[in-house]
Structure 1
Amino acid sequence: MNVMNNTLSIKQNSTLIPMAILTFMFFIFGFVTWLNGPLIPFFKLACELTESQAYFVTFAFYIAYFVMAIPSSGLIERVGYKNGLSIGLIIISFGALMFYPAAESRTFVMFLGALFIMGTGLAVLQTAANPYVVVIGPRESAAARISILGMANKLAGFIAPLALTTLVLSNMGDYTADKIASLNVTQKAAALDSLALQLQVPYIFMGLIIFVLAILVKFSPLPEISLDEDGDVAHQSIFQQIRNVLKRPQLVLGVITLMLYVAAEVLAGDSIGGFGKRLGVYGDNGDFYLKLTSFTMTAMVIGYILGITLIPKYVSQVTALKVSGLLGVILVLLIVFISPNIMIALPGIPLLPLVIILVALMGLSNALCWPAIWPMALQDLGGYTKIGGAMLIMAIIGGAVFPLLYGAIADSIDVSNQAEILEGTAKSGNQLAYLILLPSYLMILFFAIKGHKYRSWNKA
């Protein structure tokens, strides 16, 4: 029997309480994370940024995972999983409260600092939570358990853009680029200052609520776990652990796969708003493009429901990952080559370009990647599971780097004017830039077919 399953120590037999707490934690992850989607076009307007500059929103947020994952692992080693969750929430709370002075001065660098702090808190939370859910029950059902948490995450991702747009940014139609351009310098500065200040109240409330949650988690009945009770790894330094775990190809290939997957997930959720704006998806109030992230999250929730229903009873997590990779390849090719003026009518929403719907459907291809990659990459790591989990958290850097690359490509090849794009006689740089996700889905497909099976580099 796997060493990890033998060494797992939980203070109570039932997984119901820890799963309930972790599900709530993942809802918080999702709410904080998927606010970035509508913030990108918001900051582009409020802080007068280019397309590539606006994607520093995702860079600042996700680079924190890479920088702080190993320190987070060391922190959890000292304070335990439960205290780690509380500390992570407190850090997120502090980052949210930093939005107040950032909005007061309308300084993009301060916003980025606040986002980095929030990302740091999430790095602590993710480092604590993900290995926990993998080992808390049978490995063959790990993908189903992670799917439950992922569904909570993406449900929050569905709610967050709608809440931000409805409660805070409902007047975005008054701040279009054309209206702003018609103002003189003084009027323009005043209008953009007023726009930025709209973020203060919601982020203060969010910060205070998350701080209260940190206190509640501290005194919750969440049990502790131990992944190395026999001490095989405890005596090793962090650098020795890294060196030894790099000898495990299933983890290294899993880290690469997860990095490319996160790039696909983040772009599918965070770029769709800016892409929709480029294609003229404004709606009656002029703000509908800010809600498009919710379409991607809806597709992901559907994917998670399928995962919970089908895995492992009807479909293995390996098969689910194969299907995800193949579907992603097909969607990327369709997105890049389809005409942007093919429109689809859906009940209750404005007329949408088909290509926007295809971007949202990448959420379906992405849904089961995270829950499948984690247990496959951590399999047979024993006491190295904790450092392996930290390295997988570092792979979230894909969400920092690829959006910047996407924005740079979009800026560099976008030579068509808006009228040509809306008429369908030209494609925007945003649309063509999605081609960078083709390697992501090809790597996911490879890891599902062969990569996860390797246990020695000599046999790889």
Structure 2
Amino acid sequence: MQAHVDTQNHGKSLTVLTSLFFMWGLITSLNDILIPHLKGVFALSYVQAALIQFSFFTAYFIVSLPAGRLVQALGYQRGIVVGLSIAGAGCLLFYPAAATLSYAAFLGALFVLAAGITILQVAANPYVTRLGPARTASSRLNLTQAFNSLGTTVAPLLGSLLILGASASAGASAASAVQLPYLGLAAALFIIAAVFARLRLPEVHDKTAAEHGMKSVLRHRHLVLGAIGIFVYVGGEVGIGSFLVSLMEQPDIGGLSQAAAGKLLALYWGGAMVGRFVGSAVMRRVAANKVLACNALLSVLLIALAIVAGGKLAMYSLLAVGLCNSIMFPTIFSLALNGLGRDTGAGSGVLCMAIVGGALLPLLQAGVADHLSLLASFGVPLLCYLFILFYGAAGYKPRQA
């Protein structure tokens, strides 16, 4: 049960929370710039380069359940402050990683950074769904996630300018290109943490403080299927974003320079941003599951077209998938939590654990790219969107196992 919250405070609280969604979108999307950059610096295979996303998203799997307990003990607001502080520390670790020219140190820094982001996700996503009526939870989460997409759109532009511009050089000089951007991110995260520590946000909590075991949570079939949906969605979205720059560099696809391809990647994330603003409005009139199924179907068709057609058509078709991605994560998240009641907090932890799809599926896609071709590897995201189509059509319906 939701505690009473002054509805007049909702707007102010949601406005403040959008800064968090922006920051973790910016940080997550920068990984798509790190992959081609560090691939060149350390002469990596696709699978080795995919360890960037593996290290980042594995943190979601390892940290989500402890983060859920932390947020339950500290409350949403203090949990957010802790998450911001840990993420800031992770950004600081990029400096020594570049100074020592150690790929392993970069992967460690990414894990610490992602651990902080995980705590933010566990706290902020359910907080947004609880700040208002349940019937508009999907619309509300889509609106805040639109600012997450603003961050993911800005990141490739900044990364191309500040990081990929140094790719022409080699070794330590190229690796050092990441130091200043991540020091700036660390400063921003610590400042936001200080601001959040002083804010007065509405308290939202369950009337029962009893902990519920995993068995209780997993009785909800639509939550389990929603967790699979989050797993494949994040894996598909991250896989496309991770390898689009490399694909657009290929002479038979786009023939672009790395920096130019990095800037064009902003269209992929920008489409998601536009779609979330539009989707937030559409889902006030159209059932969220129907919008989800429609977007998943369009994604399947666009990726199939890209694989069959090749060339510049493939490049633009894959970029257009970003628009379809727009409403997927927040919609799956809110549909999966629908009707969970006192299991909502634990359910959020399960869904955040499922974000590990961003670690495993791009690694699978990288293996296909190394052994077949980069274009053929986009068949992995295509299969992901087929499951999301099923979830939007039928799997979302609440039913206890």
Instruction: Mark yes or no: TM-score above 0.5.
Output: yes
1:309-348 map, 5 Å: 309-313=281-285, 315-340=286-311
| Contact kept? 1:11, 1:224, Cα under 8 Å | no
When residues 54 and 286 of structure 1 are mapped into structure 2, their CA distance, relative to the original with a 3 A threshold, is closer
When residues 250 and 163 of structure 1 are mapped into structure 2, their CA distance, relative to the original with a 3 A threshold, is same
Cα-to-partner distance string for 1:425-446 (whole Å, 9 max, x where unaligned): xxxx111011112321121111
Residues 1:251 and 2:195 aligned together: no
TM-score (norm 2): 0.96
- After TM superposition, give the deviation of residue 454 of structure 1 in Å: 4.0
- After TM superposition, give the deviation of residue 281 of structure 1 in Å: 4.3
Report the AA paired with residue 201 of structure 2: L
Residues 1:434 and 2:378 aligned together: yes
TM-score (norm 1): 0.84
| Contact kept? 1:264, 1:437, Cα under 8 Å | yes
Cα-to-partner distance string for 1:153-202 (whole Å, 9 max, x where unaligned): 11111111111221343243x34xxxxxxxxxxxxxxx311110121122
Moved more, 61-70 or 361-370: 361-370
1:145-224 map, 5 Å: 145-172=140-167, 174-175=168-169, 191-224=170-203
Q: Which residue of structure 1 aligns with residue 237 of structure 2? A: 265
When residues 55 and 338 of structure 1 are mapped into structure 2, their CA distance, relative to the original with a 3 A threshold, is same
1:291 to 263, 270, 276: 263
Cα-to-partner distance string for 1:42-90 (whole Å, 9 max, x where unaligned): 0100112111100111110011011100000011111111011011011
Residues 1:139 and 2:110 aligned together: no
Measure the CA separation in 1 of the matches of 2:154 and 2:400: 44
When residues 286 and 78 of structure 1 are mapped into structure 2, their CA distance, relative to the original with a 3 A threshold, is closer
Q: Which residue of structure 2 aligns with residue 235 of structure 1? A: 210
Report the AA paired with residue 449 of structure 1: A
- After TM superposition, give the deviation of residue 357 of structure 1 in Å: 1.1
| Contact kept? 2:218, 2:224, Cα under 8 Å | yes
1:35-184 map, 5 Å: 35-172=30-167, 174-175=168-169
Cα-to-partner distance string for 1:129-175 (whole Å, 9 max, x where unaligned): 11111121122222221121111111111111111221343243x34
Q: Greater share of helix residues, 1 or 2? A: 2
Residues 1:29 and 2:19 aligned together: no
Measure the CA separation in 2 of the matches of 1:58 and 1:197: 20
| Contact kept? 2:57, 2:358, Cα under 8 Å | yes
SS in 2 for 1:290: helix
Measure the CA separation in 2 of the matches of 1:295 and 1:12: 36
- After TM superposition, give the deviation of residue 11 of structure 1 in Å: 5.7
State the superposition RMSD in angstroms. 1.6
- After TM superposition, give the deviation of residue 23 of structure 1 in Å: 0.8
Whose Rg is larger? Answer: 1
Moved more, 52-61 or 302-311: 302-311
**Which aligned runs of 4 or more in structure 1 are off by greater than 3 angstroms?**
279-283
Measure the CA separation in 2 of the matches of 1:291 and 1:450: 38
Report the AA paired with residue 328 of structure 1: S
2:352 to 370, 393, 404: 393
Q: Which residue of structure 1 aligns with residue 332 of structure 2? A: 373
List alignment gaps of at least 5 residues for structure 1: 176-190, 341-352, 414-428
Measure the CA separation in 1 of the matches of 2:338 and 2:129: 10
1:357 to 292, 316, 327: 316
| Aligned sequence identity (%) | 33
Report the AA paired with residue 453 of structure 1: K
SS in 2 for 1:49: coil
1:270-285 map, 5 Å: 270-279=242-251, 281=254, 283=256
SS in 1 for 2:165: coil
